């Protein structure tokens, strides 16, 4: 085939391609086919978009979750800081109260008596009762003895009283019967003491011993009676001689 | 035109319909030439427009002539893809050097419709390689790559297409002389 024939064919085909006359194909059918086919890629885009949206949602959810978690942690942190401060204040208050207590403790004079209901066994109570009973009996016996002794004392007292009374009576009797003699004796009898001799004797006794060779000092006791005079001489005991 | 291209890139439905109305016939003819029948041409054309609508946003086309050439290329590629699926090409055992080019016996000017009709009457493999080589201007290496065949197969298909066209031309010339 010669070159110009091929060129002729090429030109003929190009010319045929450029013709605007209807070549008899159903445009509506092809257009519908195009629409149905072109809708397929849009599905792909849709899925892609959905996937992107899902990813975005997940990221948003993750971000939101992180944000809220951090916010919650922040709140917890604030609350914890508040609690720590409260605890610190409470500790300070307690320390102050403790100091106040320590200061106020000496001033506290009230004694707290606590009644403790301690269960006591019946046997112990019985023992205590018996012990008390015995003590009571012993005390009663002691009281009886004391009463007896009291009675005896009373009796003795009565006897003594009686004796005293009798003696008083006797005294009264003797007084009444011997009153005259006694008055007389009071009037006539005198006691004279040689004081110089007595002092000499007493000083001598303190310095030196009496010896049998030395002349014995004699205390002269002279009883004067108005009616008659009598003189008695007697050696004083241990240096004193009447 | 710039507004149309802008709207097409935004996947505006009206713009797409306008493009289809404007270039539907042109692209249909190309598809028809490669596919050889209306149904396949319809199918390839619709898929070609889908590709055009989806990919035009990725291009920087600003002129109509460029747009037209790009759309033709899309249509041709879609046709080739469809033909490749059908495995219409078979390896040729003939050695290239042994092939003797059959010269065209007539230099008479042939009618445009007759020539197009001759092309359309060629078998799929011959028609495809002939169209790519003669009309589109591709080299055998490019054709082999596009159709996933060997270069020798491309050359073989072209030789056979030429032989068949020669027979067709001779037939038409004989018919004309007889009239």
Structural domain for B153, as ranges: 96-178
Identify the closest residue of chain A to B45 by CA–CA distance.
A30
Choosing from B37, B58, B86, the residue where a domain stops is: B86
Residue B125 domain-assigned (yes or no)? yes
CB burial class (10 A; 0-12, 13-18, 19+) of residue B150? middle
What pLDDT is stored for residue A240 in this prediction? Answer: 47
Based on the fold, state whether residues B103 and B165 are members of the same structural domain: yes
Q: Any alpha helices (H) in A105-121, and if so which ranges?
A: none
Q: Which among B57-61, B66-70, B107-111 has the top mean pLDDT?
A: B66-70
CB burial class (10 A; 0-12, 13-18, 19+) of residue A208? exposed
What is the domain partition of chain A in residue ranges?
A: 30-100, 120-187, 189-242
Are A30 and B46 inside 8 Å of each other by CB? yes
Q: What is the CATH number of the domain that holds B77?
A: 1.10.1740.10
What pLDDT is stored for residue A131 in this prediction? Answer: 92
Residue B6 domain-assigned (yes or no)? yes
More confident site: B87 or A76: A76
More confident site: A120 or A20: A20
Out of B17, B112, B169, the one facing A15 most closely (by C-beta) is: B112
More confident site: A51 or A227: A51
Choosing from B39, B55, B86, the residue where a domain stops is: B86
Residue B173 domain-assigned (yes or no)? yes
Based on the fold, state whether residues B82 and B118 are members of the same structural domain: no
Enumerate the residues of chain B whose CB falls inside 8 A of the CB of residue A31. Answer: 17, 20
Based on the fold, state whether residues B163 and B127 are members of the same structural domain: yes
Q: What percent of chain A has pLDDT over 70?
A: 67
Are A30 and B104 inside 8 Å of each other by CB? no
CB B44 within 8 A of CB B34: yes
Give the count of domains, chain B.
2
Q: Any alpha helices (H) in B87-121, and if so which ranges?
A: 112-121
Based on the fold, state whether residues B19 and B80 are members of the same structural domain: yes
| Spatial separation of the C-alpha atoms in residues B170 and B179, rounded to whole Å | 14
Based on the fold, state whether residues B82 and B23 are members of the same structural domain: yes
Element (H, E) at A223: strand A220-223
Tens of pLDDT along A134-155?
999 999 999 999 999 999 988 9
Choosing from B33, B51, B86, the residue where a domain stops is: B86
B138: which residues sit within 8 A by CB, 6+ positions away? B132, B146
Q: What is this model's ipTM?
A: 0.79
Residue B16 domain-assigned (yes or no)? yes
CB B82 within 8 A of CB B31: no
Based on the fold, state whether residues B38 and B108 are members of the same structural domain: no
Angstrom CA distances, B113 to B131, B151, B164, B170, B174, stand at 16, 31, 17, 16, 17
CB B4 within 8 A of CB B19: yes
Residue B91 domain-assigned (yes or no)? no
Tens of pLDDT along B110-151?
677 788 888 888 888 888 999 999 888 999 999 998 888 889
């Amino acid at each position: 085939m010669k070159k110009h024939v091929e060129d002729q064919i090429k030109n003929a085909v190009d010319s045929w391609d450029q013709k605007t006359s209807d070549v008899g194909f159903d445009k509506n059918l092809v257009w519908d086919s195009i629409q149905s086919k072109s809708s397929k890629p849009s599905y792909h885009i849709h899925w892609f978009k959905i996937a992107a949206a899902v990813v975005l949602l997940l990221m948003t959810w993750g971000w939101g979750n992180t944000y809220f978690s951090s916010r919650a942690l922040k709140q917890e942190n604030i609350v914890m800081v508040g609690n720590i401060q409260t605890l610190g204040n409470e500790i300070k208050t307690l320390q102050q109260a403790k100091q106040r207590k320590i200061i106020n403790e000496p001033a506290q004079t009230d004694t707290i008596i606590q009644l403790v209901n301690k269960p006591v066994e019946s046997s112990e109570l019985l023992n205590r009762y018996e012990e008390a009973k015995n003590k009571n009996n012993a005390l009663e016996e002691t009281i009886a003895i004391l009463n007896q002794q009291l009675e005896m004392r009373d009796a003795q007292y009565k006897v003594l009283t009686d004796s005293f009374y009798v003696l008083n009576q006797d005294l009264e009797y003797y007084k009444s019967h011997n009153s005259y003699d006694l008055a007389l004796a009071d009037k006539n009898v005198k006691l004279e003491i040689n004081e110089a001799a007595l002092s000499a004797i007493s000083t001598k006794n303190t310095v030196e011993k009496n010896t049998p060779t030395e002349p014995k000092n004699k205390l002269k006791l002279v009883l004067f009676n108005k009616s008659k005079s009598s003189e008695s001489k007697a050696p004083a005991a241990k240096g004193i001689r009447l | 035109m710039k507004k149309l291209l802008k709207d097409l890139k935004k996947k505006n439905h009206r713009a797409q319909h306008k493009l289809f109305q404007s270039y539907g016939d042109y692209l249909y003819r190309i598809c028809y030439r490669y596919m050889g029948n209306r149904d396949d041409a319809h199918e390839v054309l619709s898929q070609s427009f889908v590709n055009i609508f989806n990919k035009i946003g990725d291009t920087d086309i600003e002129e109509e002539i460029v747009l037209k050439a790009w759309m033709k290329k899309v249509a041709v590629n879609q046709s080739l893809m469809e033909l490749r699926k059908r495995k219409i090409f078979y390896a040729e055992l003939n050695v290239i050097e042994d092939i003797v080019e059959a010269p065209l016996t007539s230099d008479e000017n042939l009618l445009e419709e007759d020539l197009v009709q001759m092309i359309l009457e060629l078998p799929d493999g011959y028609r495809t390689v002939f169209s790519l080589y003669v009309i589109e201007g591709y080299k055998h290496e490019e054709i082999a790559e596009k159709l996933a065949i060997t270069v020798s197969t491309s050359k073989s298909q072209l030789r056979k297409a030429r032989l068949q066209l020669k027979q067709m031309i001779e037939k038409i010339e004989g018919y004309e002389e007889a009239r």
